[in-house]
Structure 1
Amino acid sequence: MLKVKLKIDGKRFSIPVPYSVLNLASMIITSKLLNRLVNKAIKKNGSKFNFPEINRKDLKPLLQGLSKNSGVILVDTILKDGTEVIVKL
């Protein structure tokens, strides 16, 4: 489970993200429909940037590696205004 911890202005928030939600999000990100909609919105704004197509088979080893390495801290940062962000597997 991916754990996101935030500390903003003395208040603490903890957001657990199960791996099943990450798998679902990867399916949505890699869908051809979403890719077409994003590229259409980018072209509508007049930008020449093209959102690359991402294959599901390319993301699958990444998600499997995340689940095998539980306990690893991915992000641990403190901003000047006191905001703390910790992302842990």
Structure 2
Amino acid sequence: MLKVRIKVKDKKFSVPIPYPLLNMFSLIITSKRVNRMINTAINKDGSKFTFPQIDRNDLKPLLQSLSKHKGIVLVNTKLVDGTEVEVRL
């Protein structure tokens, strides 16, 4: 399970994200229809950036390896104003 912890001033938030939800999100991101919708929204703003097409077979080994390495801290940041963000497997 991916755990996102956010601390803002006196409040703390913790958001657990289960691996099946990550797999569903990867299905959505890798679909051609969603990619087309994202690129048309970017082009409306006049930006020259295009969102690349991601192959599902490329993401599958990454998602499988995430479940094998539990407890690793992926992101740990502290801002000057006291905001802290931690993403842990």
TM-score by length of 1: 0.94
Residue 67 (structure 1) aligned with residue 70 (structure 2): no
Provide Cα deviations, 1:6-47, integer angstroms capped at 9, x if missing partner: 110111111100001100100000011001111112222222
Count of residues in Structure 1 that have an aligned counterpart in Structure 2? 89
How far apart are the structure 1 equivalents of 2:47 and 2:11? Answer: 39
How large is the RMSD of aligned CA atoms in angstroms? 1.0
Residue by residue, what CA displacement relative to the aligned partner does 1:26-76 show, whole Å, maximum 9, x if unpaired? 000001100111111222222232211000000001101111100101111
Moved over 3 A (4+): none
Secondary structure class of the residue paired with 2:70: coil
Q: Percent identity?
A: 62
Report the secondary structure of 1:15's partner residue: strand
**Cross-structure match for 1:87:** 87
Question: Separation in 2 of the partners of 1:4 and 1:46?
Answer: 33
Instruction: Please give the alpha-carbon distance, in whole angstroms, between the structure 1 residues aligned to 2:12 and 2:45.
Output: 38
Choose 29-38 or 45-54, whichever is displaced more.
45-54
* Pairing of 1:1-89 with structure 2 (within 5 A): 1-89=1-89
Q: Unmatched 5+ residue regions in structure 2?
A: none
